[in-house]
Amino acid sequence: MYQELLRAVTNLGSPNVLLVGDFMLDMYTYGDALRISPEAPVPILRVRNTEYSCGGAGSVAVDIAALGATAFCIGIIGDDKNGRILTEKLENCGCDIGGLIVTGDRPTITKQRLIGLAQHRHQQQLFRMDHESTEPLSEKQCGQILKAYKEKLKSTDVVCLQDYNKGLLSTSMCSQMIELAKAAGKRVLVDPSSASDYSKYCGATLITPNRQETSLVVGYEIETKEDAAKAAEELSRRLNLEAVLITLDREGAYLKAGDTGELIPTRARTVYDVSGAGDMVLATLATALAADCDYKTAVQLCNITGGIEVEKFGAAPVSIAEIINEIISEHRGKSGKIQSADSLVSELELHRMQEDKIVFTNGCFDIVHKGHIEYLNFCKSKGDIVVVGLNSDRSVQEIKGPERPINNQNDRAAVLGALESVDYVAIFDEADPLNLIKKVKPDVLIKGQDWAEKGVVGQEFVESYGGKVELAPLVEGKSSSSIIDKVKTLWKKH
């Protein structure tokens, strides 16, 4: 499965996403909260700095851009300083802001958060102030929004409606946009507002309520997989949807698509801040579906991006590189470092997709000592991924004699796998590692300086395609053979 996810995330391309919603500016005022006010039992915040980021639909737009897609932004902002800050940030991320209508009769929606730090602990939100208008748009403003929507619809791959119930996505506006998109053959994904009536989203392609929002709409608590299945079926039927995705925080997400439904689990996370998780889910869904991923694959990617996002402070975008690293690290946790030659080849293909430099070395590593540790650290300094070819017990006997190895191949592999400098261990049975080197095809081949005159096995092959061969310095007086000889000598004395 992980290979399918990697193929999906590396083939997302650069789709165009038409994003309509409530664009906001998030304002974070940071300071030290070390004292309580003598005027009232409240903390005093000594302000250190203020930072701005895109919120609401703006957060979705930034997330879309981080995934390599282009967001066509359509919404309302105020003719004010915060609106200018917001549009500048969106433009800097590569978003198309041609559909953001500037108006003087309402402010740019701004959420100002006061963040305190006390006794060197992590940041804690103390208070939030909202500057906004939730009045319905004027007839003129509605006309401007629909005009921008129609102009961008032809060149878009998928439509997203991000509704925070701030007056833009009214019943009439949603109905018209969904109808226009369906007529143009475009899918419409909806992140709904927290409301008890979802009728304005009728006819959309997919809707993504969370557990609490779903409970409010269907009238009962979503506590089990069966509750989620029942609610998804009800929403799908009631709203004439192609798919329903109910996000269930630590449990993952329940997906109903067509006649099938299933719970798609996620791994447990250390949750730092849930702000922006829903935005990241919508952005990932839009980008993945626009790239022709199926629903299940898209949701699996959503679980990954949403999970990474909640481990960050604030609404922070997730990059393609972060997703790839997450997929690989999760797989590595299951598959481990010790690989067969064939499975190693497929593992290394994934690393090459990330342009990682592959380093190869080999040896018996019978009794791991300081010299080995420094040698392997040297290998790690020359690239990103270190592969150790480990002589099997049979090949060690052929090289070292019938009394070796002292430790069997499984024990030796386990010790090497426990080292931070080693990424993979592959056991080979031949007297030399040439066949394994040909399979690994490393960027850098490393042996100790004692091989300078003997000649490094595999050097000609590695250099034939532009790879490098390097000799590592040796730690004087450190070798498995010398340690074994010393033990033998001490044993004879006793």
Task: Annotate 423-480 with DSSP letters as a single string.
Answer: -EEEEE-SSSSHHHHHHH--SEEEEEGGGTTT--TTHHHHHHTT-EEEEE---TT--H
Over the stretch 101-150, which tens digit does the pLDDT of each residue have? 999 999 999 999 999 886 656 678 888 999 999 999 999 999 999 999 99
Task: Kindly report the CATH number that applies to the domain delimited by 337-493.
Answer: 3.40.50.620
Widest distance between CA atoms in the chain: 101
CA distance 413 to 425: 6
Over the stretch 461-474, which tens digit does the pLDDT of each residue have? 999 999 999 999 88
Residue ranges of domains in the chain: 2-332, 337-493
- Model confidence at 332: pLDDT above 70: no
What are 162's strand-pairing partners?
21, 191
- Model confidence at 190: pLDDT above 70: yes
* Cβ contacts of 68 within 8 Å, gap of 6 or more: 12, 13, 14, 287, 320
Q: Output the pLDDT for position 388.
A: 96
- Model confidence at 269: pLDDT above 60: no
List the structure tokens of 156. 């878009």
Q: How confident is the model at residue 175 (pLDDT cuts 50, 70, 90)?
A: very high
Q: 188 in the Ramachandran plot: left (φ > 0), alpha (ψ -120 to 50) or beta?
A: beta
232 three-state secondary structure: helix
Q: How confident is the model at residue 477 (pLDDT cuts 50, 70, 90)?
A: low
What sign results for the dihedral spanned by CA atoms 285, 291, 293, 297?
A: negative
Closest CA to 363 of 354, 373, 353, 355: 373
Identify the weakest region by mean pLDDT among 78-87, 111-120, 249-258, 420-429: 111-120
DSSP code for 210: B
List the structure tokens of 395. 């090949």
2-332 CATH fold? UDP-N-acetylmuramoyl-L-alanine:D-glutamate ligase (3.40.1190)
Mean pLDDT value across the chain: 88
Q: 73 in the Ramachandran plot: left (φ > 0), alpha (ψ -120 to 50) or beta?
A: beta
Closest CA to 60 of 68, 71, 52: 71
Residues with catalytic function:
279
Q: How many CB atoms lie within 10 A of CB 262?
A: 15
Average pLDDT over residues 57-79: 95
CA distance 264 to 246: 10
Q: Output the pLDDT for position 35.
A: 85
Q: How confident is the model at residue 273 (pLDDT cuts 50, 70, 90)?
A: very low
Tell me the residue length of the chain. 494
What sign results for the dihedral spanned by CA atoms 311, 315, 163, 301?
A: negative
Q: Output the pLDDT for position 272.
A: 44
- Model confidence at 494: pLDDT above 90: no
Over the stretch 364-395, which tens digit does the pLDDT of each residue have? 998 888 889 999 999 999 999 999 999 999 99
User: Which value, to the nearest 10 degrees, does the dihedral of the CA atoms of residues 360, 363, 368, 371 take?
Assistant: -70
Q: Output the pLDDT for position 165.
A: 93
